[in-house]
Chains A and B, each alone.
Chain A
């Protein structure tokens, strides 16, 4: 049995293409059942996120299976296959396993290490399990992918550093203040980035938020949104000493906070540290503010720098993660190949046994003057001969070292000795630890 993957992602297709073949999460039953109804496809899971659409399936016929999945994607969404073809990738065997392990571990994500993808795959798998389109192989396969993702998460620092400006600001604030639960954030002006950062601070749990704007009504509106306190812009310096974290992004053409202001404000708050984040371009806060004792000023460029460094760090961690994925692929394959080995050996033996018994019976029925005990001896001889014959191929089949193509041998034996298709795979032999 082979695992195949067909799909497209942010790496191969623009959003205009991706949205055409996306599956609605509320209606997964129909496509899942349509895929398992395809000839030669036994199990299927469909993953559809804003960055990728992929079908994982099991089949005996790799090339045919892939072609059918591609055609299904095109026909189901009424997109001509010719326009879709160039965006699609397809994998089987080890490559398919590697691909799914990497996707689940967020190594194939747009922002490497972002944590959402794992949850999305879990949800997709949930649908497949609910509508019974996944079976023993894909169940095991996806659980393995989840455990690989978990290993990557705990053993590497792939997701430990902030890779967005807003998150970087929160992380830095934590490095200055430690706990943020007794800290107050002041928002000066309104801008998308500024509001996003404010939201991150609120999610982290700050004590309070103040909002100010040149037009007080806008401040009030924003304050409502954040359940914050609106402050008049003219009273800015009265409220500044109460703020620990200042997020500024006004449209002012000149600096609105100067070195001497901050010097005075810090005195008024007994030199308790202040963290200024200047997101405005042109800047709102005089860079000399950073020279003031216990004041720390970061501009949007500084934060971008932090993000860039963290992304570099993630690349290093990603290499460690790739190594973990490789290791786990080997383990999974041991299990996958062992699935078919045992039934094949059993079938092979019983076929040989049948032949032995039939031939023996035929010979004995024509043999009149047989010395006593010869019947038993003949039977033992045939039996020993059969065992000798089967010993070598059986032990090769049972070998689990990498590079041993058990799947090839299984297929060959089944064809050569006409053993029929593998019966329902059983979970035996090499068991994977989860």
Chain B
């Protein structure tokens, strides 16, 4: 018993060291910084609550918080819904080899930097960009898409859609085919089977996909900045602004800690909802 647990501990050790060195220690350091004092553009170790009260007491912080939370939630929902038909057909309607190629091509976008892809969208979405040029041919537009919430959403799609489709495809592929057929067999139409059987069966994977989308978009800086026009600012833009204006690293740390706390709660709630057993 003692030997086996020591053995297990040895294998767990690299992960523990990694998590301690690159997650726990910086987090503790950041928490400490949030109580430090900035004097003449220099940080001094201290224990003051002013950074917290200044940030949490300001309207602009809460405006940024709610817009970030709203956009990330909307992105998680919308992107999950957009991904579902694609994942459904990849999981059920195509052959094994097509599925394998599709998964491969869904990974390909990650070869290039997300920043590059966001820049590419500027060309497409701009006032005199590709989309408006095409729409102009049929007498529509021009529409303002760049520097809007819509633009940011396009960026979020670029960032997370392939990942969400891959996660959903795997979880849908894992659904027992016999259960799907059993539903049809009991008089459930294929469309209704999606709601009655497939979604409940694949719940864990679908929620994990949405959580990933939420996490990535909640902390994203590129899309809201380059495509969303940074007005209103999201929390990540707020962090940049705070550090730029007067070296306010402690206040930026406050924002970052609130973000981490939010992500932590969201991820925890979602994962426990996903794995909730239905036993009464």
Q: Do A and B come from one complex?
A: no
Which B positions have Cβ atoms within 8 angstroms of A? none
Which A positions have Cβ atoms within 8 angstroms of B? none
